[in-house]
Amino acid sequence: MTIDSIKNGIVLDHIRAGQSMELYRILGLGDLDCSVAIIKNVQSKKMGRKDIIKIDAQIDLDLDVLGYVDPGITVNLIKNGNRVEKRHVELPKFVRGVIRCKNPRCITSTEQDIEHVFRLTDRNDRIYRCIYCESKAKQQ
Amino acid sequence: MRHLIDIMDLSVEEIDSLIETANDIIADPQLYREKCRYKKLATLFFEPSTRTRLSFEAAMLDLGGSVLGFSEAQSSSASKGESVSDTIRTVSCYADIIAMRHPKEGAPLAASYKSRVPVINAGDGGHNHPTQTLTDLLTIKRELGRLNGFTIGFCGDLKFGRTVHSLISALSRYENIKIVLISPDELKIPGYVRHEILEKNNIEYTECFDMTDVMPILDILYMTRVQRERFFNEDDYLRLRDSYILTPDKLKNASSQLKILHPLPRVNEISTAVDDDPRACYFNQVENGKFIRMALILKLLSEV
């Protein structure tokens, strides 16, 4: 299968196999005008199988969201057909507006204008808790 | 500007300093009678309370300040559907400091983001109640003379008891604390308290069902209410209820220096026959609640 290489844009590599659609949704890539390619189940020496997303434009990516969804992702910035920067993401300390608190006793369940924010409370076990009620987020 | 939402917002040094101020107030209340003259405390109680609201109001009055507010959501614009954010924006125009109780968890934190004045969490649902924890710490310090090197037994509802979780968090920063958790299976301490507080901080703890077994080793017994509605069936409640009621008989093997605490309100989990026992400290604890809140109001107003 051939996917055109991009001239100026971003390649999200080393996405856990099966996570790319979730990432596509969370990052709002469906709202972009440019070409976006999702490549699933690519053979990988390191991971066995992985997903890749290619975005044919230089956009501002929320690295915190990427880190939350999958801290193993690498972000490659492409300019004039060459990779000019490779970034590793990491688990962010806070995740804003991505996870919704499901606790019916939480203030976020009744106050509509409050942003849902989760804080990393255990890096080893990747546990995020709502900053308001401390309920645990469902793991990605 | 500082708020107090969670007991862990305060460092150990700040807690020590609050306890010192509270002790100074107890020793010479006259010195503090004018400290908050012309200052106003708003008590925003979206659900009812006796001790917490009255102790906040008494604390501000004893500091020479004045109080305004409401004692139930029905007597505020919340009953018309006003958001917490808008209520706080409004009240922070009229008061210098706010004490807020709300049935929803995290409401005081959300309020603090919109407030122009310090917000004190006076209880948010089953979540946090930091001024009760400060009250407990002041009481332990006054009754035992120290905040380290003791064994404390928590008895009753350890699953839903917010005062227990907050006090365990606070004690996790003091040295050589041993914890005994006494509860029925249905009301055991939640996993996150066990893993993220007790085990993470290497606190020595044991769990058991019967308070009489462990009574001799306790320096402090912290009683809580076992509520009927926490049980799936009435039979279990009736079977277990009596095991968690403190009576003079159950205190027979306890140390003569034991200190008995309870955040109150009490229903029947401490027999009134225990009230005159010199080891019962829960009414001193209630009184301490006012003094530590005076210290806290002074601190937060000084940092505006």
Following DSSP, what letter does each residue of chain A receive, concatenated?
Answer: ---PPPSSEEEEEEEETT-HHHHHHHTTGGG-SS-EEEEEEEEETTTEEEEEEEESS-----HHHHHHH-TT-EEEEEETTEEEEEEE----SEEESSS----TTBGGGT-TTSPPEEEEEETTTTEEEETTT-PBPPP-
A15 contact B CB<8A: no
Give how far B5 is from chain A: nearest CA, Å: 10
- Residue from A103, A117, A127, A132 whose CB has the most chain B CBs within 10 Å, to mutate: A132
Among partner residues B83, B85, B125, which is closest to A105 by beta-carbon distance? B125
Q: Are residues A22 and A45 in the same domain?
A: yes
Check residue A140 and give its pLDDT: 64
Residue A3 lies in a domain: no
Across the interface, whether the CB atoms of B85 and A130 are under 8 A apart is answered no
* Complex ipTM: 0.88
Q: Are residues A63 and A110 in the same domain?
A: no
Residue A138 lies in a domain: no
Check residue A1 and give its pLDDT: 60
CB contacts, 8 Å: A121 with chain B: 196
A57 contact B CB<8A: no
First to last CA, chain B: 5
Q: Are residues A27 and A57 in the same domain?
A: yes
Residue A1 lies in a domain: no
Find residues 96-115 of chain B whose CB sits inside 8 Å of chain A: 102-107, 109-110
C-alpha to C-alpha distance for B97 and B77, rounded to whole angstroms: 19
- H or E segment to which residue B205 belongs: strand B204-208
Q: Are residues A66 and A105 in the same domain?
A: no
The domain spans of chain B are: 7-128+288-302, 131-285
Q: Are residues A18 and A83 in the same domain?
A: yes
Among partner residues B83, B106, B192, which is closest to A133 by beta-carbon distance? B106
> What string of pLDDT tens digits covers the 304 residues of chain B?
999 999 999 999 999 999 999 999 999 999 999 999 999 999 999 988 888 999 999 999 999 999 999 887 776 666 667 889 999 999 999 999 999 999 999 999 999 999 999 999 999 988 999 999 999 999 999 999 999 999 999 999 898 888 999 999 999 999 999 999 999 888 899 888 998 899 999 999 999 999 999 999 999 999 998 877 667 778 878 877 777 899 999 999 999 999 999 999 888 899 999 999 999 999 999 999 999 999 999 999 999 8
Q: Are residues A55 and A123 in the same domain?
A: no
**Class of the CATH-defined domain B131-285:** alpha beta
Residues of B tagged active-site: 51-52, 80, 101, 129
Helix (H/G/I), strand (E/B), else coil: B16: helix
Task: Write down the H helix ranges in chain B.
Answer: 12-27, 51-62, 84-91, 107-114, 130-144, 162-171, 191-193, 211-214, 234-241, 282-302
Among partner residues A105, A107, A134, which is closest to B110 by beta-carbon distance? A107
Q: Are residues A108 and A74 in the same domain?
A: no
Residue indicated by tokens 């970034």: A87
Check residue B79 and give its pLDDT: 67
C-alpha to C-alpha distance for B191 and B137, rounded to whole angstroms: 24
Residue spans of beta strands (DSSP E) within B65-118:
66-70, 97-102
Which parts of chain A sit beneath pLDDT 70?
Answer: 1-4, 140
Q: Are residues A104 and A77 in the same domain?
A: no
Find residues 77-136 of chain A whose CB sits inside 8 Å of chain B: 103, 105-114, 121-122, 130-134, 136
Check residue B155 and give its pLDDT: 96
Architecture of domain B7-128+288-302: 3-Layer(aba) Sandwich (3.40)
Helix (H/G/I), strand (E/B), else coil: B20: helix
C-alpha to C-alpha distance for A48 and A41, rounded to whole angstroms: 9
**Structure tokens, B37:** 């003259």
Across the interface, whether the CB atoms of B106 and A130 are under 8 A apart is answered yes
Residue A139 lies in a domain: no
Helix (H/G/I), strand (E/B), else coil: B220: strand
Q: Are residues A112 and A44 in the same domain?
A: no
Residue A30 lies in a domain: yes
Across the interface, whether the CB atoms of B84 and A107 are under 8 A apart is answered yes
Q: Are residues A38 and A67 in the same domain?
A: yes
Residue A140 lies in a domain: no
Among partner residues B85, B109, B126, which is closest to A131 by beta-carbon distance? B109
Q: Domain holding A78: CATH number?
A: 3.30.70.140
Number of domains comprising chain A: 2
Residue indicated by tokens 């492409």: A78
From the CB of residue B250, how many other CB atoms can be counted at a distance below 10 Å? 18
- Find the Cα–Cα–Cα–Cα dihedral B233, B181, B140, B286, rounded to 10°: 0
CB contacts, 8 Å: B107 with chain A: 107, 132
- Residue from A110, A123, A125, A133 whose CB has the most chain B CBs within 10 Å, to mutate: A133
- Residue A123: give the domain boundaries: 94-130
Residue A57 lies in a domain: yes
